[in-house]
Amino acid sequence: MENIIKLNNKNKIEILPYELDFITKLKREYLKLKIKILNEIIRELTYNYKLLKKE
């Protein structure tokens, strides 16, 4: 995994197809987690707002 990005002699980044697939899956999982966290924050804020509104 350390060798995902390799520099060739022209200083261009070369990523192999299976590595690209791994990166894509990692990005997808990161986005899922980010959405989950944001949804939790929204849920908390909504709940707190409703409590404040009742007072």
Total domains, the chain: 1
Q: Which helix (H) or strand (E) holds 6?
A: strand 6-7
Q: Is residue 25 part of a domain?
A: yes
Domain extent, residue 22, equals 16-54
Whole-number Å distance between alpha carbons of 36 and 30: 10
| Predicted confidence (pLDDT) per residue in 1-37, tens digit | 445 555 555 566 677 788 888 889 999 999 999 999 9
Evaluate whether 26 touches 33 at the Cβ level (below 8 Å).
no
Is the whole-model pTM more than 0.95?
A: no
Q: Is residue 32 part of a domain?
A: yes
Q: Is residue 3 part of a domain?
A: no
Q: Is residue 1 part of a domain?
A: no
Evaluate whether 15 touches 23 at the Cβ level (below 8 Å).
yes
- Give me Rg for the CA atoms of the chain: 21
